Amino acid sequence: MQIQRKSYFEINRTYFFTATIHQWLPLMNSKENKELIVNYLKELSARGFIKIYSFVIMPNHVHFIWQQLHKNGKETPQGSFLKYTAHEFLKTLKQNGTSKLYEVNAANKKHEIWQRDSLSIEISSREFAKQKIDYIHFNPVSGKWNLAKDYLDYYYSSARFYETGVDEFGFLNNLFHG
Domains of the chain, earliest start first: 9-164 (3.30.70.1290)
What pLDDT is stored for residue 2 in this prediction? 47
Mean pLDDT across the chain, nearest whole number? 93
What pLDDT is stored for residue 8 in this prediction? 59
Task: Tell me the CA distances in angstroms from 44 to 41, 77, 152, one per residue in order.
Answer: 5, 7, 25
Q: Is the pLDDT of residue 4 over 60?
A: no
What pLDDT is stored for residue 7 in this prediction? 52
User: What integer is the mean pLDDT of 117-132?
Assistant: 94
Q: How many CB atoms lie under 10 A from the CB of residue 65?
A: 23
> Do 168 and 42 touch, CB atoms closer than 8 A?
no
Percent of residues, the chain, with pLDDT higher than 90? 85
Please give the Cα distance from 50 to 171 (Å, whole number).
Answer: 9
